[in-house]
């Protein structure tokens, strides 16, 4: 049985979210996606995560030099939740969804982001990791 795969391209961060018709999803980068499209790479089964319904966001970050960089927060959509993201400077970058997952990306210096989804709140500090200090 063929599985339909929908893709959400996040142009700023160069990442993609994919939702598969069997309720699995994954996050990948542009290079991996191109390699899969041209047939030079086949995704491993463990790259796909079964949707759990938990609202824990995941994050990826850009740079720690004080200058602007791309930042990404994404996660699962429990129920009919509509996530929101508010940055420390008060701005609200747009949230996009695909299947039962969502993503939000923005360009700025490192700053905390507060994510609200399904009645829960998460603060992601986007602070430079200790091993880099």
pLDDT at 28 over 80: yes
User: Tens digit of pLDDT for each residue in 108-119?
Assistant: 999 999 999 999
CA distances from 76 to 12, 36, 73, 121 (A): 20, 24, 11, 14
Report which of residues 85 and 34 the model is more confident about.
85
Place of tokens 């999803």: 25
CATH for 47:
2.60.40
Burial of 19 (0-12, 13-18, 19+ CB in 10 A): buried
Domain count for the chain, please give it: 1
State pTM to two decimals: 0.88
What is the span of the domain harbouring residue 35?
Answer: 5-132
CA-based end-to-end distance of the chain: 50
* Average pLDDT taken over every residue of the chain: 91
């Amino acid at each position: 049985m063929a599985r339909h795969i929908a893709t959400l391209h996040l142009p700023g961060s160069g990442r993609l979210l994919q939702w598969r018709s069997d309720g699995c999803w994954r996050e990948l980068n542009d290079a991996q996606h191109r390699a899969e499209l041209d047939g030079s790479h086949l995704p491993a089964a463990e790259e796909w995560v079964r949707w759990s319904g938990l609202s824990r966001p995941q994050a990826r970050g850009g740079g720690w030099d004080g200058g602007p960089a791309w930042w990404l927060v994404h996660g699962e959509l429990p129920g009919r939740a509509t996530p929101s993201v508010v940055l420390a400077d008060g701005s609200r970058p747009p949230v996009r969804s695909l299947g039962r997952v969502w993503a939000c990306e923005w360009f700025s210096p490192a700053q905390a982001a507060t994510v609200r989804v399904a009645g829960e709140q998460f603060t992601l500090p986007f602070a430079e990791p200790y091993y880099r200090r």
